[in-house]
Structure 1
């Protein structure tokens, strides 16, 4: 027997009464408890004549006129449709005739409407009698004062003999009633014969939710995991079926982003479903922000940050984890930036998601890299873990890892195990060794140089190969990452003279590309819009290229100067080019004088004035004030 079977039985009795009961039934429950689904399912499965029911949501309804118009539409779908909205006033008049009660509030019956029914007999007289059952949902979301609304409904029950089922979140309703709470209580006592609280019926709801999902694969996964979904739902303690429906629809879209090989693993999909539901419930209930998913995943960091002498700043996350303690939800199937993207922007980073899942334990084999096996070390037996750690240690000493992402992963893992006394070396020894390792890779050119103005993906900083870096919360690890960035920035600076020389060649071969690389735009070649580089070009070499190219190309170069320095937010970083611009302007003025009387003299002057002069003026505003 379901939790709400007694409500179904009473509604069967109520709706089947041969005489007018002269009272309404009120169904209450929190938002998302399934009240609307319950009553629609009851109408569909228990009433022999569902057309007897006039269901109306009062969400956003502001006046009795709105209610009357909706009744007319329900009773006469064709006449109440948009093409015949012109009959709206007539509809209201007919409704007044049929209801025979005071709508205008003037104390007089509105039972007779001047003009009567149209001669063409396009509209039949509305029949609202004891055979009809009104279902009014979302009472708490109606703008009409609740006492007035219930008084209005009472007219139908007392004078029309109509049965009515009202549905509300009474907690919210009483909040909105505030000053009229007493009036609500009085009229409720008069109008409501029975009140029932609807209990969320997740088992029955899941079948409907599954049937509504767009993809067949998602329907299959959900139906085969009803007990698991119910367990996660009950652990969450939210009692909100709307959260379940929302999460399952998002999960459907997630599945549509998975590669066929990933979709073949039922066990992976089961764990992924549980993980996704728990995070979705917490995010969409407002318990955590999308960016805080990391703290739920970070099993180690939560405990490392604890200080027994002070209140735990992460207690909220400990409490959430404790709710799901009976479930294996923290296997890091999906890296944190992927979850953040899904829950904050709605996007699904397909490549990163699949890479993460394909690195999971469900796809482990003897050919899997040992550092990946170490990443899943918590799932290994003591003997297997010791064997994997020894292998990784030997590979580290032999410098077998030639990819920066792998080096960062191993560094984070060794720091983690060193802090817990599982690895023989100290954290300081691990970091020193890791720095030496990175220096060797930089010297050999095996670490790619960062690009100027590069906008790194959040995945690059937090993860590699679909797996999040261990020890992200550790200061030693963060210092190591900063060391890598610093060394790569130094390598970039050392490469700029060569890149500047390549840029110079574009002045007389591809000035449009010269422009796209130097001025902010959406082009993939937009490399140097806030990187000072022109000062690495000898001014005399630049002038030589400029004079050798066509007048049309020189105009493009002039336009480049005009636009490059028009963004003040970048000019502090472009300040090193100031001296270069001054010297180029001086050389150009000399060339203008030499070419006096020629049209080229005029075109060169246009480059200097206004474009180079304006650029110099804009940069000079960011020169540091002279020290006293």
Structure 2
């Protein structure tokens, strides 16, 4: 599609001192840079000096960029200790003067003695034509008078061969229009060669070899045909994929869905700037799987947070990695479009019979079954029970057939469940109502368990203080109550009595307090101690007990010495928590 441009450039670069430049234009991400770099790579007969003007603030910065291109070894970091020597040498061949008082194209002089430069730095390329390419003109931070005058002088005064690359639509400047009229002979617009360029970009990465077609469909459907964005997302995915264990990567179905969802969410984020409507995004791409919940995807794509341990736990629970000799009937029906008539009715009968006989102990699997039955019932399949019967049977599950699998981990929502498989009709009102009833029951069970567990933990905490197992107490706090307040559930008066029964416990409990409120640990851009603010009341009450003891005339001086260390820690952390409360609670209000 751009062969005519390639053909002309091959002719242009052979011209002797053409006295004009050529311009390649196109939208951002349309493949301009890719096209020219591919052109350079395929030409072994000439020397190219490629300079991106993106962010350059001075003509001296252009000098240095040209110098780096002419001899990258001499411009490398170890050699740049001789910076002064090289800059002096560079001036043998390059000098740019700007007359600021009369700023126009003719006032900028780039007196470039190319023979001098090549002789000094690049003898092996001295006999080759040298072509200067200036990319990202619209992104320079230089005044257009300076940068265009610089290029104009290279063309007119020094007779150099120059190609300029820009998104012309982003430049509204009279100096540019003057420059183009005076210096540019031909302007070519790059037409995006989607198929060819896309394949060359993606095929460079082995981790995506089996997913080219899927990524191409996502790329096309996203509406963001920007190759720079594509390259960025590929690089981000390569980094992300290092967090996925090798054993998971062996499952081709899982990897296909992982790659597709990563690219779907990434392109969406690049376009919208957020993933606020994450529940609708996969549906727009006809993807039925939901591998991770919305928070996890937002952390990965928006916040660049990758928790490998949590990812591993989530992935190994997905249906892809459940070892089953034969797919259960509900799983066959989940993908019912691939079944023939006999297989469909056979699996439907089996699933419905198991449902009516209360065989589905896991609430997430039960929800899949309910979703499928509602879908088939409303589709008019005569052998399926009514929606009312489905709802009544589910209510009976809720009343009489809950077990240990009815827990927080198996609490579903209409977007995500830990099987990784989307519900067949998650927008259906009857299904949503049943989902709500099941989640209410799970919440009741979890709340009841948490009350019991908390009571048990309180008893264990007191026992650990009595036995001096303060490392065990720290372990409970870290593992179960890292992001939840806990110490406020303890009786400060009783804890004070326990550490005073055996004063050797004072130091151990001081260690617990010191560990509990780190200043260098954050979650969701807030100090981790923000989530423990309720513990302020416990710290204040315990501090009061200690302060009262220290004021007694009959206090033991040695015990007082150790209590002073503890109260210093308490008061330091009370102050820290109050500062957090003031900053973040007020912010939320």
Shorter-chain TM-score bucket reads 0.7 to 0.9
8 Å Cα contact 1:530-1:571 kept in structure 2? no
Select the residue among 21, 30, 34 that pairs with 1:33. 30
In 2, distance between residues paired with 1:30 and 1:357? 43
What's 2:584 paired with? Answer: none
When the two chains are superposed, the root-mean-square deviation of aligned CA atoms in Å is 5.2
Q: For residue 12 of structure 1, report the CA deviation from its aligned partner.
A: 1.0
Q: What corresponds to 2:521 in structure 1?
A: none
The 5 Å alignment of 1:220-259 reads 220-221=209-210, 225=212, 229-252=215-238, 257=244, 259=246
Q: 1:219 to 1:297 in 2, by over 3 A?
A: closer
Number of the residue aligned with 1:332: 289
C-alpha change, 1:374 and 1:260, in structure 2 (3 Å) is same
Residue 187 of structure 1 is matched in structure 2 by 179
Partner of 1:150 in structure 2? 148
Alignment pair present for 1:69 and 2:103: no
- Structure 2 stretches lacking a partner, 5+ long: 519-528, 582-589
Whether the 8 Å contact between 1:402 and 1:441 is mirrored in structure 2 is yes
| Change in CA separation of 1:184 and 1:604 when aligned onto 2, cut-off 3 Å | closer
Q: Are residues 457 and 195 of structure 1, via their aligned partners in 2, closer, same or farther at CA, if it must alter by over 3 Å?
A: farther
Separation in 1, partners of 2:273, 2:566: 57
Q: Secondary structure at the match of 1:551?
A: coil
Q: Distance in 2 between matches of 1:553 and 1:170?
A: 74
- Partner residue, 2:361: 402
User: Which residue of structure 2 lines up, in the alignment, with residue 85 of structure 1?
Assistant: 83
Q: Residue 49 of structure 2: SS of its match in structure 1?
A: strand
Cα–Cα, structure 1 residues 92 and 434, in superposed 2: closer, same or farther, change >3 Å?
same
Structure 1 SS opposite 2:165: strand
Closer, same or farther: CA 241–508 of 1 in aligned 2, 3 Å: same
Query: 1:203 offset after TM fit, Å?
Result: 3.8
1:373 has 2:332 as partner: yes
The 1:613–1:364 alpha-carbon spacing in structure 2 relative to 1, beyond 3 Å, is closer
- 1:452-463 superposed matches below 5 A: 462-463=416-417
Tell me the secondary structure at the aligned position of residue 467 of structure 2: coil
Structure 2 counterpart of 1:297: 282
Equivalent residue for 1:358, pick from 320, 328, 334: 320
| TM superposition shift of 1:373 | 2.9
Aligned to 1:426: 387
Q: Does 1:56 align with 2:78?
A: no
- The 5-angstrom pairing of residues 208-227 of structure 1 reads 208-210=200-202, 212-213=204-205, 215=206, 218=207, 220-221=209-210, 225=212
**Aligned equivalents of 2:238, 2:111: Cα separation in 1:** 55
CA contact (8 A) 1:25 1:192 kept: yes
TM-score (norm 1): 0.69
TM-superposed deviation, 1:511:
4.2
Partners of 2:487 and 2:474 lie apart in 1 by 13
Q: Matched residues in 1 for 2:251 and 2:93: separation? A: 59
1:197 and 2:182 equivalent? no
1:273–1:34 distance in 2 versus 1, CA, 3 Å? same
Out of 237, 262, 266, the position equivalent to 1:280 is 266
Could you say which structure has the larger radius of gyration? 1
Residue in 2 that maps onto 1:166: 164
Deviations 1:519-571 (A, max 9, x none): xx645675973375435x9x88x7886565x3211454577689989979756
Q: Secondary structure at the match of 1:484?
A: helix
The Cα offsets for residues 62-95 of structure 1, whole Å up to 9 and x where unpaired, read as 1112212333343354554413211254245323
Q: Deviations over 1:199-250 (max 9, x none)?
A: 223444345434542x4xx26425xx4x655454344443322233334444
Matched-pair contact (CA < 8 Å) for 1:130–1:161: no
Question: Unpaired segments of 5 or more residues in structure 1?
Answer: 299-320, 623-628
Distance 2:352 2:490 in 1: 46
Cα distance in 2 between the residues matched to 1:184 and 1:612: 67
Q: Give the corresponding residue for 1:4.
A: 2
Distance 1:73 1:169 in 2: 25
Matched, 1:141 2:133: no
Query: TM-score when scaled to structure 2?
Result: 0.73
Contact persistence 2:415–2:426 (CA under 8 A):
no
- Alpha-carbon distance, 1:409 to partner: 4.1
Give 1:401 deviation, angstroms: 2.5
Structure 1 SS opposite 2:132: strand
CA contact (8 A) 1:472 1:478 kept: no
Please report how far the alpha carbon of residue 35 of structure 1 lies from its aligned counterpart in structure 2 after TM superposition: 0.9
